[in-house]
Amino acid sequence: MKTFHSYSEVLSCIGQEVAVSDWITITQAQVQLFADATGDQQWIHTDPERAAKGPFGAPIAHGFLTLSLLPQFFARSFAIEGSRMGVNYGLNRVRFTSPVPVGSRLRARMTLQAAERVEPDGLQMTWLVTVEREGSDKPVCVAESLARNYGAAA
């Protein structure tokens, strides 16, 4: 876990890979909960028997499930000391470049592309997040994520 002690420290990391998260495992229960929450009950996600005979040879996680892991990857990888709140500000670009079979282990590489101060006491950051699947040389998701942080020291 990387800890920034000020926004100035964050700003000094523009253009650098700042963190690599720990691995997390994608389970069928997690995929089913996501399907239930979103209403996306596509059989390639929720029917392991049918999915085993399908195009991926196993059930796969929803692309949006993979994307929804970004806040978890951020929270487990770095912190800004004194922050009172961080918020998701949106996405500029997202690509799902490879499937995520259930049972896969994923991690994220986070590169700070840009950062700027926003009023009254915030910092907006643009992160290139590359989600990797253990054992694969191709990422499963590449996203440009915008995040805002409020309340940390200058």
Pick one of 1.20.1440.230, 3.40.50.80, 3.30.70.2190, 3.10.129.10 as the CATH number of 2-27+69-150: 3.10.129.10
Render pLDDT for 2-48 as a digit per residue (tens, 0 to 9).
999 999 999 999 999 999 999 999 999 999 999 999 999 999 999 99
Q: Where are the domains of the chain?
A: 2-27+69-150
Render pLDDT for 122-132 as a digit per residue (tens, 0 to 9).
999 999 999 99
Q: What is the pLDDT of residue 154?
A: 67
pTM score of the predicted model: 0.94
Per-residue pLDDT for 120 more than 90? no
Helix (H) or strand (E) holding 76: helix 70-77
